[in-house]
Structure 1
């Protein structure tokens, strides 16, 4: 029998530098590489190629991409289609919300929740509205748009473009098991996430100040990069003003395994965020057996289900939010039975979430593209 021609998948990974996008890419590539019906080439940004896991049968092409956002977008629109045509790629798999429009058979992997725009200054809102427009336009020119969760599909397929939802397929990320970890719960709680307005760290600090009235020895650790200097300054000012220096630690960025170990050893994981996609840190807490406190939003329940976390109602009054969060933390820290029940429910919910399931969804969809 004549050998069937392999379908050439060109992975546009120039946006995969750190974080969840890079983690997802490194889990998807091996599944594509071991499928004999695919030939895989990865385009990586120079200086970041070593962060990408490359099986031996995957080709790597390193390119110099401008650092300026607008120049990068222009470079991508012009050069990725050229590379795709030169390599005779059948599919361009873009690990980004948007695609180079002239590339063959575009596929997207959409990860950003544009509801973040509600919590940023006006000049930053422009970026998010541009992202919504670019994503919507890219969906017109794409065969499939994979989404990291079902919730964000509605954010990009709003009327009059609701028909674009038919092009979207849920392919949620998973969480690796932390090997060799023997959790030893310490009298501490943990928050994880870079410093952005929608993460609500000032609210958490104000609530924690009230918590110390009941639990004076409790510690709060916060892992995250001070991406927004103004938020970092506000947090440091609050820590000093509320006299939290002895109970709160800003740990900065930590390697993934250290973060997971600290999470496994904490009594509770807290996430007061107002906007997430498919929260990987919440998923990690669930997988590691740490009870979580989150806001009562649909995007959080998509990860943890109805009973896999302690849900705090959201209010538009700050003093009420502070009260609700302080009461939630005190309640869960003091009640071991409640923590155990949430941890057990969470473990049940994560049984159906795996990298293999995600990759199988992606492989199946790519095979169906003509």
Structure 2
């Protein structure tokens, strides 16, 4: 099997591959080769024994990666004798042997982005997703929402839902430990994460809770949207109330989930939402957007709001910080629901699908 990791550069794509690779490497049915750009290797080291890396080097850009993936990668797969080519992204090399793709990148945000370069990007992504889905032997969706939203009505019988898991490191704080009083948001800073609306909600919430603060853990993606976020913080005079932490490692993220008053998840377009299950496993109360896959993943273990209505978002935040009993109940419900999500099970189900596709 050849794993096409060229698109696993940030966020959930890296989280997923790092989590399932150790389990896949132990499966005696699989001989694993993985192709990635040499700049990606540090994100995945150390690779488990039995995984054969193939590092490629070209000047990175979206369309150069696309060309390499569609032209050079199939030749590599055929040369290696791969029975299956697995692309854990919406699309992969169309002419590679027995392609399997993973439907995990939300396309809905592209319908609201009319900047010329971004419109081209989202249009190509949509077309490649459709073409790859038509060609794929099997497809994996990370949620039922992803299966419905990204199937285009095509070949649904070949799409299996395999939810992602959660790292065991995410666990509740010690019994009796007091939580902090800050809000936490987790996710890289780009448009569908909806941080501008979260800032507006914080302004409203601080009218009744003037000491309320927010920490955002996530790397800047591009320049335009992170710049808008920084401008909004300055415009509202929130420089002392909002802390942009940038990308944080797992240990610090574990501590943040345990210490915060609640996680606020304002995203408008998610097919899964790793911060949700990480916070759930940590027993963290959650106020979440009611759109996309969030209700499917979180269930009744959170308080929901309209992510396009800052007053509704502020009201959801207020419900939790004003009611300690509610916060405690939400934390208990979140921990229980988190038991549904296991990387070991996700890897086992993925391996079964890959083996079936290769037979």
Sort the TM-score into its range (normalised by shorter chain).
over 0.9
Check 1:91–1:279 CA distance in 2 against 1; reply closer, same or farther (3 A cut). same
Greater C-alpha radius of gyration: 1
Check 1:77–1:291 CA distance in 2 against 1; reply closer, same or farther (3 A cut). same
Residue 98 of structure 2, aligned match among 85, 89, 105: 105
For residues 309-340 of structure 1, the C-alpha deviation after alignment (integer angstroms, 9 at most, x for no partner) is 1011356xxxxx12212222122111111111
Residue equivalent to 1:170: 161
For residues 158-198 of structure 1, the C-alpha deviation after alignment (integer angstroms, 9 at most, x for no partner) is 2xxx1322221112211112279646411111111222222
**1:309 paired to 2:302:** yes
**1:141 paired to 2:130:** no
Residue equivalent to 1:6: none
Check 1:29–1:232 CA distance in 2 against 1; reply closer, same or farther (3 A cut). closer
Measured on the aligned residues, the alpha-carbon RMSD in Å equals 1.9
Give the match's secondary structure for 1:220: strand
Residue 221 of structure 2, aligned match among 220, 227, 233: 227
For residues 7-56 of structure 1, the C-alpha deviation after alignment (integer angstroms, 9 at most, x for no partner) is xx111122223322122112222222212222111112113224324222
Give the match's secondary structure for 1:243: coil
Give the match's secondary structure for 2:39: coil
Where in structure 2 are the equivalents of 1:269-288 lying within 5 Å? Answer: 269-288=263-282
Question: What is the TM-score of this pair, normalised by structure 2?
Answer: 0.92
Residue 241 of structure 1, aligned match among 235, 238, 242: 235
Question: What is the TM-score of this pair, normalised by structure 1?
Answer: 0.90
Residue equivalent to 1:202: 196
Where in structure 2 are the equivalents of 1:14-93 lying within 5 Å? Answer: 14-52=6-44, 53-93=46-86
For residues 257-306 of structure 1, the C-alpha deviation after alignment (integer angstroms, 9 at most, x for no partner) is 2123112200111111111110001111111111111122251011101x
Matches of 1:277 and 1:179, distance apart in 2: 21
Matches of 2:307 and 2:15, distance apart in 1: 31
Give the CA deviation at 1:110.
Answer: 2.2
Say if 2:90 and 2:129, in contact at 8 Å, map to a contact too.
yes
5+ residue gaps, structure 1, are: 1-8, 316-320
Aligned residues: 353
Residue equivalent to 1:3: none
For residues 237-270 of structure 1, the C-alpha deviation after alignment (integer angstroms, 9 at most, x for no partner) is 3323322223221222212221231122001111
Residue equivalent to 2:350: 362
Residue equivalent to 2:294: 300
Check 1:238–1:94 CA distance in 2 against 1; reply closer, same or farther (3 A cut). closer
Residue equivalent to 1:128: 122
5+ residue gaps, structure 2, are: none
Residue 147 of structure 2, aligned match among 146, 153, 157: 153
The answer to which structure, 1 or 2, has the higher relative contact order (CA under 8 A, 6+ apart) is: 2
Say if 2:267 and 2:307, in contact at 8 Å, map to a contact too.
no
Check 1:79–1:177 CA distance in 2 against 1; reply closer, same or farther (3 A cut). same
Matches of 1:82 and 1:237, distance apart in 2: 47
Check 1:120–1:45 CA distance in 2 against 1; reply closer, same or farther (3 A cut). same
Give the CA deviation at 1:355.
Answer: 0.5
Say if 2:271 and 2:292, in contact at 8 Å, map to a contact too.
no
Matches of 2:237 and 2:347, distance apart in 1: 48
Give the match's secondary structure for 1:59: strand
Give the match's secondary structure for 1:25: helix
Matches of 1:214 and 1:178, distance apart in 2: 35
Residue 252 of structure 1, aligned match among 243, 246, 252: 246
Say if 2:277 and 2:341, in contact at 8 Å, map to a contact too.
no
Say if 1:98 and 1:138, in contact at 8 Å, map to a contact too.
yes
Give the CA deviation at 1:202.
Answer: 1.7
